[in-house]
Structure 1
Amino acid sequence: MKRFWGLVAMVSLIFLLSGCGGKDGFTVFIIDNQGNPSGISEKLQENLQKKLGEEPKVEIITSAMYDVQKILVEYAAGSHDIFILPENDMKQYGQNGSNVPLDDTFDVKKYERGVFEGAVLVEKGKGDDGSDMKKETHLYGIPLEDMQMFKDVSYAPSNLFATIPLSAANIEESKKVLKALTE
């Protein structure tokens, strides 16, 4: 129970420190349960910014240590536009309705490892159980091993997937950046 209240306090502190003014730029959060992505963040950020031009201003944020609670806090804070995380975590959040379907932007057959049944927001009360969520099978994540920009920085582990959270500031822009990472 102490861990729960500690986590609640940490999430509250994040919201308090982030203020009310919204965020500037575009963030990609990377966490890996089999390695440390910190060494690639600067080069990846530089390569991605070159590809995108001056806007949006991109920031790559990495976590040196894997921690399930860190992922929860980062999702709860809602301050990242793309998450790169282990497959099991990506699927868990997708099944809970936290990730955006990518079928309209990416070839589902090419990225079939990222296809699974997840929850999507629907019209109020129109969900499977009368809620606002419905289970649907979609492409929710792109494997890093299939993303050219990660291959270019020699960091494309097969266990990591890129996904867009529902809390992304601009979902269409997030899809554009995700597309740039794959090309």
Structure 2
Amino acid sequence: MKWKWLLSLVVLVVLAGCGGGPKKDVSIFILPSTGLPQNITEKMETDLQAKVGESPTVAVHSSPIYNDEKLLVEIAAGDHSLVILPKKNFEAFARQGSFVSLDDLFKPEDYPSGVVEAPVGDEKNPKMEKHLYGIPLGESKWLKDSGYKGEELYAFVHPRAPQMDKAKQVLQVLASK
């Protein structure tokens, strides 16, 4: 009986060691309405890391097929620092509130389509305020260089981004034209 317990412990330690390497500083989830093939997602990650430099490290995740449930799970889980979605999805989520204002990072007048009126403040007595919550990536050099040719996408910082400053740093690179 003792050897079974020891064997179980060894298996557990071995499996725990197979974690796939160190976690990246900034995780990005991108989901166009047509989905995104794995080879494009990998190219996006490689290209973005080259543009960002050694630090912060980035990981780009997507799904080959668009699925509303997948999108909801990814956003609710809060594992990603940045989320990139079609305009209709971005606006629907932004109007619910709780997004990170980007007014301190970008001029709202430079990205008027990313400005949304949303509830801000106390959950019981929210005030409606207009802020820049998303950056349209239609002119993004990163998307163009990666071979993406679909609809315009909007990038926003997840409110539970583990490293907010690094997420904003990467967003500035994504927005460059």
Q: What's the TM-score once normalised by structure 1's chain length?
A: 0.76
Residue 53 of structure 2 corresponds to residue 60 of structure 1: no
Instruction: Give the secondary structure class of the aligned counterpart of 1:40.
Output: helix
| 1:172 positional shift | 2.0
Once the two structures are aligned, what percentage of the paired residues are identical? 38
Residue 41 of structure 2 corresponds to residue 48 of structure 1: no
Structure 2, unaligned runs of 5 or more: 1-22
Provide the aligned C-alpha RMSD in A. 1.9
Deviations along 1:102-126, one digit per CA (max 9) or x if unpaired, are 1111121221111111233x2xx4x
Change (3 A) 1:106 1:156: farther
Q: What does residue 79 of structure 2 align with?
A: 79
Give the conservation status (yes or no) of the 8 Å contact 2:26–2:163: no
Amino acid at match of 1:25: D
| 1:134 positional shift | 2.9
Residue 112 of structure 2 corresponds to residue 112 of structure 1: yes
Residue 145 of structure 2 corresponds to residue 152 of structure 1: yes
Q: 2:155 aligns with which of 150, 157, 162?
A: 162
| 1:37 positional shift | 5.0
Q: Any residues of structure 2 matched to 1:1-183 within 5 Å, and which?
A: 24-120=24-120, 122=121, 125=122, 130-131=124-125, 133-155=126-148, 157-183=150-176
CA distance in 2, matches of 1:165, 1:58: 15
| 1:50 positional shift | 1.7
Runs ≥4 residues deviating over 3 A: 156-159
Give the conservation status (yes or no) of the 8 Å contact 2:47–2:146: no
Structure 1, unaligned runs of 5 or more: 1-22
CA distance in 2, matches of 1:158, 1:103: 25
CA distance in 2, matches of 1:103, 1:140: 8
Quick check: which has more Rg, 1 or 2?
2
| 1:45 positional shift | 1.1
Q: What's the TM-score once normalised by structure 2's chain length?
A: 0.78
